[in-house]
Every structure is written in C-alpha cells, then in structure tokens.
Amino acid sequence: MDKVDPVMNRDLTAAYLSVIPGLGHFYKHQFRTGLLIMTVGNITAGLVTGLLGFATIGVALIVMPVLWIGWAAYDAYSAPDLSHKAKASPAEEEHQAGPVAPSASPGIES
C-alpha cells in the first residue's frame, strides 16, 4: 500500500475545499486571507460576474465563477500550511535556528 504524504494531502484537501473560495485558506490556517477572500473577494466576484453577464449575454455567468474558483483553489494549494508551524515544539525551533551566540551587553566594558 502506498503511503500518502500528509502535507501533500492537506494541499489537495485545501484545493478541494476552495469550491467555496476562502475555505481552503481557513483549512491551512491562513485566516486573514481566507476571511478576505470570503467577504470582499466573493462579493466583488459576484458583482463583476453579474455585470459582465449582461455584457456577454450570459457567458460570464459560467466563465467568471470557474476562473474565480480555479484561482482560489490554486492559491489555497500553493499557500504555506501554518498549522504545522504552530505545532512545532520549542526544542524543534531551537534545533532549526541553530545555536545562539552570546552577545555583549551594551555599556559594559571588560
């Protein structure tokens, strides 16, 4: 049985959740971006789609949502997953940062 990389699986899950643009960003703990897409982005996309629907005799009613959802899915797929950074222990963070050199205190001469 093949094992699936859990990070890659989270990326695909975020892309699938982007059927509702912004939800994939919430899944990857990109709360600010997800909220911005769900509010401002979806409202703007809806208004632009509605206005272009009149100009293109309805073609934009299909094309614009597909483009919007496709972009949101790609962006959620490629966004960094912040949930893994939050779960890192302090010991792992020290190991990744390396040793810290002692610094001299300002104003104290030896």
pLDDT value for 83: 84
- C-alpha–C-alpha distance, residues 39 and 87, integer Å: 28
Across 1-110, where does the E strand assignment appear? none
Mean predicted lDDT score pLDDT of the chain: 82
C-beta separation of 76 from 17 below 8 A: yes
Least confident of 6-15, 23-32, 66-75: 6-15
Backbone angles phi and psi of 5, in degrees to 5: -65, 120
Q: What is the pTM of this model?
A: 0.69
- C-alpha–C-alpha distance, residues 15 and 74, integer Å: 7
